[in-house]
Amino acid sequence: MPANPHAAGQDVTQIDWPGAIIKWVEQGEAPPQLTYTFRTNATASRSLPVCLYRKAPHYNGSGDITCATNYTCT
């Protein structure tokens, strides 16, 4: 999971933890993948997948490098 020393030094509070938990509890839908989104400057943002411990997001080699869908947890 990204934390201060990882993923551009941003904070894990930028993951929608409450939204994922509420949807899971109230609608029975477990999150297939959480996404970590953070601002890179005043007008741009970047997203990465939240990976299980010991895995890290790795770019798939094509597509927008600022979009989580172009990364795989390995």
pLDDT digits (tens, 9 = 90+) for 35-67: 888 877 888 888 899 888 899 999 999 999 999
Give the confidence band of 13 by pLDDT, cuts at 50, 70, 90: low
Point out which residues pair with 36 in neighbouring strands: 15, 48
> How high is the pLDDT of residue 12?
57
- What's the Rg (C-alpha) of the chain? 13
Specify whether the CB–CB gap between 49 and 70 falls below 8 A: no
Q: pTM to 2 decimals?
A: 0.66
Distance, C-alpha 4 to centroid of its chain: 14
Please report the pLDDT score of residue 73 as a whole number: 93
Q: Domain limits of the chain?
A: 9-73
The reported pLDDT for the residue numbered 1 is 46
